[in-house]
Amino acid sequence: MKKKRKLKKNVYVVAVILIFVGLLTFSGIKIYKDYKYKQTYEYKLLEHGYELKEVKKLEKTFKDKDLDWLLTIPKNKTILKLVDEKYFLAKNTKEYLDYYEDNDDISLDMVITKINTHTNYDFYNHDIDVDTSLKYLINCNKFYHLAKDYDPGEIVTIPTTYAFGTQKIEKTTYEAYLNMWQAAKEENIHLMVNSSYRSYEEQEEIYNNYKSSYGEDYANKYAAKPGYSEHQTGLALDIFSLDNTSTKTFVNSAAFTWLTNNAYKYGFILRYPLDKENITGYSFESWHYRYVGKDVAKYIQENNITYDEYYAYFIEK
Ligand SMILES: [Zn+2]
C-alpha cells in the first residue's frame, strides 16, 4: 500500500512539472514571437499609421533602407500614389517628393517623367557621361554626352541609291536601314538618308555656324552641342524620301506615314516626337530616326514613350 501511494505521488509531481515546463515553453515562444514581430517592417509601418494593404505595397516596393527612411517621416499619401505609377523608380522617391512639393500643379506621372529623365534640370545643365558599354542602347541627349574620341564601331558608307551625297553609318544600323528601305520600296516609297554619322568635329562646326549666324539660343534649339548629338553615335539617321526632303512638309508625306507605322519593325524609332520637346530637348523632327533594335523599338512604339523615358526606366534604372 505504501509503495503504491508513493508511486501515485511521483506521477503527480512529474505531471505538475510537465505542465509547468509546458506552460513556460508556450509563453516563452509567445514572448519571443511577439518580440520578433515587433522588429518587422509590417509592425513598424502599421504602428506608423499605414494600413495593412498599404504596408504590403510598401514592403514590395522598397528596400530596407528606404523603409527605415519612410519611418522617419510622417505617413505620406503621395508615396502611396507614386508607387502605383507605371514608371516609378524607388531610388528616385525623395526627388519625386521634393519636386512635387515645389510643383504641385503638375501630375504625378509628369513628376516621374521629369525626375527619371533629369528634365527637372535645364538642358545642358546636368552632365552625365554616356555609358558607352551599352552600344545600341546608349543614350545621348542634352544631359548624356559623348567623349570627343568616342568610337562608334565599324562605319560604312551608304550607297547613293539609299542616300543623298556621302553618308556614313554604323554597320548594323546600315543593315537594318537596308531592310527597311527594301520593305518601303515594295510599297513604292523611296527612302533617302540625308544626314547620318557625324564626328565630334563635324558637329562642332555645325553648332558654331548656327551660333555665329543666329545666336546661342537658336543654336541650342536647332543643333546639338558637340558631344551631345545623337548623330555622333553612328546610330541616328535623318530619313526623307526621294521626292521630299523638306523639314516643313515631310510630315505630310506618304513616306512619313509609312515610317510611323513600320520603322519599329526594323529597329528604328522616331527620336524626337511631337509634343515631347520638354523631355527630348528637341522640337518635333519627323525625319530623325534612331536605331535601338527591334525589341526596344517595339516597346517604344506600343507604349508611346520617348527613348529618354525608356532608357531611364529600363536601362539606367
Ligand atoms: Zn538628325
Tell me the CATH number at 253.
3.30.1380.10
Domain-located, residue 306: yes
- Rounded to the nearest angstrom, the distance between the alpha carbon of 307 and the centre of ligand 1 is 14
Instruction: Judge whether 251 lies within some domain.
Output: yes
Clarify whether residues 156 and 298 are in a common domain: yes
Using the mean position of ligand 1's atoms as its centre, give its distance from the Cα of residue 281 in Å: 13
285 is catalytic: yes
The answer on 279 and 259 residing in a single domain is: yes
Which residues have their alpha-adjacent CB atom under 5 A from ion ligand 1? 238, 288
Between the CA of 224 and the centroid of ligand 1 the distance, in Å, is: 10
> Which pLDDT band holds residue 2 (cuts at 50, 70, 90)?
low
Cα of 113 from ligand 1 centre, angstroms: 23
DSSP 137: G
Residue 122 lies in a domain: no
Residue 7 lies in a domain: no
In a domain, 215, yes or no: yes
Lowest mean pLDDT among 131-145, 153-167, 209-223: 209-223
The arithmetic mean of pLDDT across residues 46-66, rounded, is 96
Q: Which of 74, 89, 116 is the last residue of a domain?
A: 116
pLDDT > 70? residue 274: yes
Domain tally, the chain: 2
Q: What is the mean pLDDT of the chain?
A: 95
Instruction: Output 242 or 104, whichever has higher pLDDT.
Output: 242
Residue 164 alpha carbon to ligand 1 centre in Å: 14
**Active-site entry in 51, 54, 202, 285:** 285
Q: Distance between CA 38 and CA 25 in Å, rounded? A: 20
Cβ neighbours of residue 77 closer than 8 Å, sequence gap 6 or more: none
CA distance 139 to 151: 15
Q: Looking up cell 551625297, which residue turns up?
A: 165
**What tens digit of pLDDT does each residue of 255-273 get?**
999 999 999 999 999 999 9
Long-range contacts of 306-309 (CB under 8 A, 24+ apart): 306/117, 306/271, 306/273, 306/276, 306/279, 306/280, 307/139, 307/269, 307/271, 307/280, 308/117, 308/119, 308/139, 308/141, 308/279, 308/280, 309/87, 309/113, 309/116, 309/117, 309/279
- Co-location of 137 and 195 in the same domain: yes
One domain for residues 93 and 180: no
pLDDT bucket at 1, cuts 50 / 70 / 90: low
Judge whether 260 lies within some domain. Answer: yes
Give mean pLDDT, residues 280-293: 96
If one counts every other C-beta atom within 10 angstroms of the C-beta of residue 5, the result is 9
Pick the last residue of a domain from 116, 149, 180.
Answer: 116
- Given a contact cutoff of 8 angstroms between Cβ atoms, the answer to whether 124 and 132 are in contact is no
Same domain, 104 and 233: no
pLDDT in tens, 6-39: 778 888 888 888 998 889 999 999 999 999 999 9
Mean per-residue pLDDT for 223-236? 96
Same domain, 144 and 93: no
Report pLDDT digits (tens) over 160-207: 999 999 999 999 999 999 999 999 999 999 999 999 999 999 999 999
Same domain flag for 66 and 175: no
Residues 6+ apart with CB under 8 A from 191: 162, 180, 181, 184, 185, 239, 240, 241, 242, 255, 259
CA of 238 to the centre of ligand 1 (A): 5
Q: How confident is the model at residue 3 (pLDDT cuts 50, 70, 90)?
A: low
Residues spanned by the domain of 142: 128-316
Q: What spacing in Å lies between the alpha carbon of 187 and ligand 1's midpoint?
A: 24
For the chain, the 3-state helix, strand and coil shares in percent, each to the nearest 5, are 55, 10, 35
